[in-house]
Amino acid sequence: MNPDIDAIRARFPSLSTQDDGISRVYFDNPAGTQVPASVAKAVADCMIESCANQKGPFRTSRRVDKLISDARDAMADLLNAESADEIVFGQSMTALTFSLARSIGPTLTPGDEIIVSQMDHDANITPWVMMARDHDLRIRWLPFSIETYEFDLADLDELLTDRTRMVCVGGASNLTGTLHDIKAICARARDAGALSFIDGVQSVPHVPTDVRDLGCDFLACSAYKFFGPHQGVLWGRREAFAPLTAYQVRPAPSAIPGNFETGTPSFELMAGTKAAVEYFDWIGTNMAADYMDRFEHLAGRRQRLHAAFGLLADYEQGLSSHLIAGLQSINGVTVHGVTDADAMHRRVPTVSFTAGQKDPQTIAEALDEENMFVWHGHNYAVEVVKALGLEDRGGVVRVGPVHYNTPSELDRLLDSLESRILSA
């Protein structure tokens, strides 16, 4: 069953924007998606109708308190968290991860080991490397295969020791698009007595995310990658947060989640994040009936949200194979990621390519001339670009469709690459 893409696109005003009569095509989604009108409205409504600080004895403040609680409930449903208290909002995934690392560091002992991966965005590397520097810990690197673009879990087994305290990996790569077997990785970390920290920034927008089923201890994501505003979200198991001391001012709450939300949070962005979750609920309610059985263990909004992501993931697999087949048919193009047509469930539709010696930035600029937006370079996945030997060649061109994109938009990009940009 396919989602009703016309109905979906009608909810995003920016998708019908034209410049000089040419419609825009957004393939820059891994760096940030467009938002439904309801998300923008929720942000504006909060600022007009509930513009107050929290926990005051008056109407607008009470409305803010309700909004915060509703936003946490929404994120808890999206991630199937046990409790809404386990949801922390913050400036960005990066800022939240640095803050968490600052609190985890003092609980560790010099010589303890932290596993980070070569496939990850720097936001899931440098916070841990700096924590290791500050507390005399040892960083151990999980490599990936440049043939399969996946981890070999035997490598992880070799890295795990009785000193391993954390395993920090991403749900999906923002450069190669590989979806990792997070459940297996978390099980291994747990068996070794280590915590797992999952960077869900690139997986949460594309696949159902159930933190309890994954068996992770922490998972961070960013609302602006899943059709919401520029806000980060950190989920942690209550027991994983328990031994940590948050960096906070004295009058602030001493318990989660408030202790990790330093200063006055962005209430209007919480309103937008809640509206983004409600957008997926609308998809679940109206389009994903066939997917509800797969999530029978969930109920109510949780079930509808997971069904919505199940539906969208299947649709996006079609976009991935269309895009990859099209790119591979162009002379001189190399796709850096999983390309096997039967393995589209092992990747998200974020597809990076190079075209011989052609400069990725020049290709991105040429696409912009036709109002098609893509990113180029390392996209902060510096270790990936190094491993692929593309560091000195300007990295890659990254095409990142999401569910609101269509095969005809992909054809527009492929035609332009083949007949104009790469033939020159």
Ligand X SMILES: Cc1ncc(COP(=O)(O)O)c(C=O)c1O
In sequence order, what are the residues at sequence separation of 6 or more whose Cβ sits closer than 8 angstroms to the Cβ of residue 306? 80, 208, 210, 284, 291, 294, 295, 298
Per CB under 6 A, does 232 bind ligand X? yes
For residue 46, what are its two tokens?
């909060």
- Cβ-based nearer residue to ligand X, 197 or 295: 197
Q: Which of 259, 252, 262, 307 is nearest to 285 (CA)?
A: 307
Q: What is the footprint of ligand X within residues 166-225 (CB under 6 A)?
A: 170, 174, 199, 201-202, 222
To ligand X, the closest distance from the beta carbon of 205 in angstroms equals: 10
Give the count of residues interacting with ligand X (CB under 6 A). Answer: 15
Q: Which is nearer to ligand X, 174 or 339 (CB)?
A: 174
Residue 162 is which amino acid? D
Q: Compute the least distance from the CB of residue 361 to ligand X, in Å.
A: 18
Kindly write out the interface string for residues 95-134 of this chain, putting x where it contacts ligand X by CB under 6 A and - elsewhere.
Answer: --------------------------x-xx----------
- Least distance in Å: CB of 92 to ligand X? 3
Contact of 305 with 280, CB cutoff 8 Å = yes
Cβ closer to ligand X: 123 or 324?
123
Among 34, 80, 92, 176, binds ligand X (CB under 6 A): 92
Tokens 């893509």 sit at which residue?
374
Interface with ligand X in residues 248-287 (CB under 6 A): none
Backbone angles phi, psi at 372, to 5 degrees: -120, 130
- DSSP secondary structure letter of residue 357: T
**Which C-beta is closer to ligand X: that of 126 or that of 405?**
126
Distance between CA atoms of residues 198 and 194, nearest Å: 13
Q: Which amino acid is at 421?
A: I
Distance CA 108, CA 194 (A): 11
Among 29, 33, 38, 94, contact with ligand X (rule: CB under 6 A) = 94
Cβ 31 to ligand X shortest distance, Å: 6
Decide whether 277 or 355 has the Cβ nearer to ligand X: 277
Token readout for 248 is 């906070």
Provide, rounded to whole angstroms, the least separation between the CB of residue 62 and ligand X.
30
- Distance, CA of 187 to CA of 341 (rounded, Å): 28
**Residues numbered 72-91 forming contacts with ligand X, rule: CB under 6 A:** none
In order of 64, 87, 274, the CA distances from 258 in angstroms are 14, 10, 18
**Nearer CB in complex with ligand X: 232/258:** 232
- CB 374, min distance to ligand X, A: 14
337 binds ligand X (CB under 6 A): no
**Terminal alpha carbon distance of the chain:** 40
- Closest CB 353 distance from ligand X, rounded Å: 18
328 sits in which H/E element = helix 300-328
List binders of ligand X among 7-36 (CB under 6 A): 30-31
Q: Can you name the residues that pair with 22 across neighbouring β-strands?
A: 19
User: Between 202 and 321, whose beta carbon lies closer to ligand X?
Assistant: 202
Q: Does 352 bind ligand X (CB under 6 A)?
A: no
Q: What torsion do the CA atoms of 124, 129, 130, 133 make, to the nearest 10 degrees?
A: 160
* Minimum CB distance to ligand X smaller for 92 or for 266: 92
Nearer to ligand X, 173 or 321 (CB): 173
Shortest distance (Å) from residue 303 CB to ligand X: 27
CA 255 – CA 314 distance, rounded (Å): 39
Nearest to ligand X of 97, 321 (CB atom): 97
For strands 22-23 and 18-19, give the pairing: antiparallel
Residue among 143, 205, 147, 131 at smallest CA distance from 169: 143
Q: Which residues between 31 and 60 bind ligand X (CB under 6 A)?
A: 31
Give least dist CB 32 to ligand X, A: 8
Q: C-alpha angle with apex 85: 283 to 222, nearest 5 degrees?
A: 50
Residue 174 C-beta: closest distance to ligand X, Å: 3
Give contact residues for ligand X (rule: CB under 6 A).
30-31, 92-94, 121, 123-124, 170, 174, 199, 201-202, 222, 232
